Structure 1
């Protein structure tokens, strides 16, 4: 007996929070707090190009004593953006996350 297929579209958070690649990290952190999210997708124009997580801000900014108003999203984002589409099977998405050692997988 096969398991029922569940797509990531059935489970995903509907609102993806985005920031511009030229946003300061202060703006990024404020947006994450306002929207109560642990990550944002970084875009150049309308094209998603990377992701910033709360861990990225801690490790790449706070731990290195960098002033968040002086750096841009594009300076610390993880790129290229690893993503899936709405129809991707949950098990396949999990395999991607495990192989790439990531905890966030945007659905675009």
Structure 2
């Protein structure tokens, strides 16, 4: 099974110029802890609720701070035509619960989460990935 069969396609995005307050409101409104930061369809980074807390709130930054100053710019991703087992293995290796999904032109087309993979109920892939993701950081 391929990623494009299970990924979330309707992904809320932020602009690098959006403020952390605007992005936090988007997260609240869509009940998500992560939003890709894009310039058009090109991913510039990902911002999580944790990024906002650790890189903005804890440092006393203004709510008007551009999200580009607190986002994670090293985005982990997979391709929409990748096999779900390969994506689960990558999540386990990187200890992440979601990946940006790109087309072969490197445009954002969705997000895949460990939950998306788990819903497929395939063999031990999800359990193994979750176990490895949950291990203490190996770095």
Q: Deviations over 1:72-101 (max 9, x none)?
A: 111111113221122211121122222223
Of residues 9, 12, 17 in structure 2, which corresponds to 1:14? 9
Q: Which structure's residues are more often strand, by fraction?
A: 2
Structure 1 residue runs of 4+, over 4 Å off?
A: none
- Tell me the equivalent position of 1:42: 37
- Tell me the equivalent position of 2:28: 33
Q: Distance in 1 between matches of 2:33 and 2:5?
A: 20
5+ residue gaps, structure 1, are 1-5
**Higher RCO (CA 8 Å, separation ≥ 6 residues):** 1
Larger deviation, residues 36-45 vs 18-27: 36-45
5+ residue gaps, structure 2, are 103-139
User: TM-score, normalised on structure 1?
Assistant: 0.81
- Tell me the equivalent position of 1:3: none
Q: Distance in 1 between matches of 2:20 and 2:13?
A: 13
Measured on the aligned residues, the alpha-carbon RMSD in Å equals 1.6
- Tell me the equivalent position of 2:81: 87
- Counterpart secondary structure, 1:84: strand
User: TM-score, normalised on structure 2?
Assistant: 0.65
- Tell me the equivalent position of 1:97: 91
Q: Distance in 1 between matches of 2:59 and 2:97?
A: 22
